[in-house]
Amino acid sequence: MKVVYAPRALRDIDEILAYIQRRSPRGARNVSLAIEYTIHMCALNPRAGAKTDEPNVYRRPLGKYRYTIFYRLLAGNGIEIARVTHGARVKDLGKLPADD
């Protein structure tokens, strides 16, 4: 399945990894791998994520890290990664977080 990234999602990932990198390069690598793995799993089975209140928008947590990936199903065969956010920054997991 095809995976595309919204510009905001790419900024989210860059900001997350830069923040962690300053504190722990190994931690940043581990989080990066967890993001990649979770996105891969979303692409393999996109409807396995939790539905949000918005049509065609799903979310999937990163597992042991407190981040959540929000993604949209695309017409045809693909997903768009919309946001990657820390759980403490999301007030309502049922809604796609607005751009900052």
Q: What is the CATH number of the domain that holds 78?
A: 3.30.2310.20
Q: Which H or E element spans position 66?
A: none
Whether residue 25 has pLDDT greater than 70: yes
Q: Are 69 and 80 in contact (CB under 8 A)?
A: no
The pTM assigned to this predicted structure is 0.89
| Residue from 16, 8, 56 nearest 35 by CA | 16
Pairwise CA distance, residues 77 & 17, whole Å: 29
The reply to whether 10 falls in a domain is yes
Domain count across the chain: 1
Q: Which domain holds residue 81?
A: 2-87
C-alpha angle 97-98-99 in degrees, rounded to nearest 5:
120
pLDDT of amino acid 5? 96
Whether residue 33 has pLDDT greater than 60: yes
Mean pLDDT across the stretch 58-86? Answer: 91
| Residue from 33, 90, 91 nearest 62 by CA | 33
Q: What is the pLDDT of residues 76-94, one digit of tens each?
A: 889 999 999 987 666 655 6
The reply to whether 100 falls in a domain is no
The reply to whether 97 falls in a domain is no
pLDDT of amino acid 99? 65
> What is the C-alpha radius of gyration for the chain, rounded to an integer number of angstroms?
13
Whether residue 95 has pLDDT greater than 70: no
pLDDT of amino acid 100? 56
